[in-house]
Amino acid sequence: SQIGGCDALNIDAAPSSGGLGRSLYFSWILDRKNSNITDVNIEPMDKLMYLDRLADLIASFSGQAFDVDGKICQNPNCLDSVGNNSAPRYKNCFCNVIQIPFVSYPSGKYTVELTVSNWQNSESSPASISVTKQLKAIPIVTIDMYSSDSNRMLSVNRS
């Protein structure tokens, strides 16, 4: 998959299953072995800084599928700056979806890995998705599929 210069990285793992009605736990990581920055104008130490920052940001999306109080799932998209001189807090956090603006990241290949587990600590096999960040604008193409039968599932994998 490719993302353009001004696009966001969006990965939705909400259709994951195995919780039997209970909340699943999503563990997101940046696969550093399969991620690299290809922009030749960036110094090696700066490349490491970008990857470190992105790895921390991706890991912050780890947690329960939905965490109303933001106790475990503390992704930056659910940080609520309450106002009235109150401290910001996390609320209504969804950790089954990653949404990261990618405009500030240089061109390169980034691989995100996800593992899902349930309340019995049964864990899925890791699933990876790699995206290539381009500096130019690229039209966004999506596949949206719906089924009225919850037992019917169509998996789409791109490599």
Q: Which pTM was predicted? A: 0.76
Token pair 């550093």: residue:
32
pLDDT at position 39 is 93
Q: How does residue 155 score in pLDDT terms, banded at 50, 70 and 90?
A: very low
Q: Are 61 and 74 in contact (CB under 8 A)?
A: no
Between 146 and 61, name the one with better pLDDT.
Answer: 61
The contacts of residue 21 (CB under 8 Å, 6+ apart) are none
What's the pLDDT tens digit per position in 123-133?
Answer: 999 999 999 99
Instruction: Report the candidate in 118, 148, 141 with the shortest Cα–Cα distance to residue 3.
Output: 141
CB atoms within 10 A of CB 39: 14
Distance CA 50, CA 115 (A): 23
What's the pLDDT tens digit per position in 44-77?
Answer: 999 999 999 999 999 988 877 777 776 777 777 7
Instruction: Report the candidate in 127, 92, 124 with the shortest Cα–Cα distance to residue 111.
Output: 127
